[in-house]
Amino acid sequence: MGDESRKNIYTTMESLAGKVYKISEECMNRFPYYRDERSGKLFCTDACNWSGGHWVSLQLNAYIISPVSGIINNIKALAGKISCRSRDRDIFLGFIFYYSFARMYDMFGSEGDLNTALLAADNLISMYNPYAGLIPLGSECQVLGTDIQGNNLAAVDGSIIGNILLYWAYDHTGKDYYLKTAVSNLDSTVKIFMRNDYSVIHMVEFNPDTGNILAKWNNLGYSNNTTWSRGQAWFLLALAYGYKYAGKKEYIDFYRKALRFYISHCRLPDLVPLYDFQAPEEPETPADASSLAIMAKSYLIMLDLGMDDDGTLDSIINAILAIIDVTPSKFITHHVCFDYPHRFATDSDMIFADYYILDFLIHLNEYLRRGNKII
């Protein structure tokens, strides 16, 4: 991929940044959640939902690409609505505060942002269950469209949701307990959630006093014996970040094998899986483009850490660009299925997916700028 291709990627980034600014104007000081594929209606919330941090980061990324001074005021207003959640018993504080206050601190250096992000990280530490070795969903877990919470429940995506903020806290303070908690949470996820074929189950219930596993099931998948594709992508992202910060060699092996499962169960060549890899492939069965966006992010992280590319990156780039090329004008991405079993936002453009699409392109542009080649 030469200089001309890099220019095309940057042009695409600028176009998406422009769409982010239009969404910001459309939703004012609310948190956009998803846009319905058929009606084009944008659904927003006044309070911060689980992907509210992604919305802040999406605007920060747009600002990096094409600075517009007014967007910073909007970000600060949204951050004010987020800050009150730092003590909630909710694993999604990891996403919410990493993608807002932690990234704001990294960009602008405000000590107030640093302290707010660390307060949320400390709250996650206090939620950790040492018997199960997991950070549970929490008694105040909030996921718009999915009513599930509890100190005795954990999800496979919890291995990245909570961990991403703990890794950042370790990086900025040097305090080992952040890293140790994150590694324990990931190691327990591998042990409890990963099957023999390197696919993953979505949810577990455990006894909080003993750590014994009481039940396993797929809340967002087709059946308890199949694999929710976004869960597999979250697991890949968790392994990539785990290897980046903990350096455990087994994470590379797990990553490669879990990725092989992912790719081998995709509808080639577009790499956009059905919402569940083994769901019946019928006209009404939705695909989930967010799974590809998350997996793509994980792959670039692993390449940065020295993993060899076997040609997968070229396929990922083509798949991402193919999605963008056919996306309607108001949308950043589309054909995202959030929750098919409960029929919520089953064909939509979701803000968290938009974040990973644009973040992948930014990361890819930097990867190529450093002289890396696509095979």
129 in helix, strand or coil? strand
pLDDT tens digits, one per residue of 110-160: 999 999 999 999 999 999 999 999 999 999 999 988 889 999 999 999 999
pLDDT at 1 over 60: no
Beta bridge partners, 200, equal 194
pLDDT at 273 over 90: yes
The full length of the chain comes to 375
Compute the average pLDDT of residues 274-300.
Answer: 96
CB 245 within 8 A of CB 182: yes
Is residue 257 situated within a structural domain? yes
Q: What is the mean pLDDT of the chain?
A: 95
Is residue 375 situated within a structural domain? no
pLDDT at 6 over 90: no
Is residue 193 situated within a structural domain? yes
pLDDT at 2 over 70: no
218: left (phi over 0), alpha (psi -120 to 50) or beta: beta
Instruction: Residue 221: give its domain's CATH number.
Output: 1.50.10.10
Tokens read off for 361: 């392109």
Is residue 364 situated within a structural domain? yes
The total of structural domains in the chain comes to 1
pLDDT tens digits, one per residue of 65-80: 999 988 999 999 999 9
pLDDT tens digits, one per residue of 57-113: 999 999 999 999 889 999 999 999 999 999 999 999 999 999 999 999 999 999 999
**What CA–CA distance (Å, rounded) separates 143 from 134?**
19
Model pLDDT, residue 318: 93
Residue 340: pLDDT band (50, 70, 90) is very high
Is residue 33 situated within a structural domain? yes
Is residue 166 situated within a structural domain? yes
Compute CA distances 12 → 94, 136, 198, 349, whole Å.
29, 38, 34, 17
**What CA–CA distance (Å, rounded) separates 243 from 308?**
15
Model pLDDT, residue 268: 73
pLDDT tens digits, one per residue of 202-248: 999 999 999 999 999 999 999 999 999 999 999 999 999 999 999 99
* Domain boundaries, position 362: 3-369
Is residue 47 situated within a structural domain? yes
Is residue 374 situated within a structural domain? no
pLDDT at 277 over 90: yes
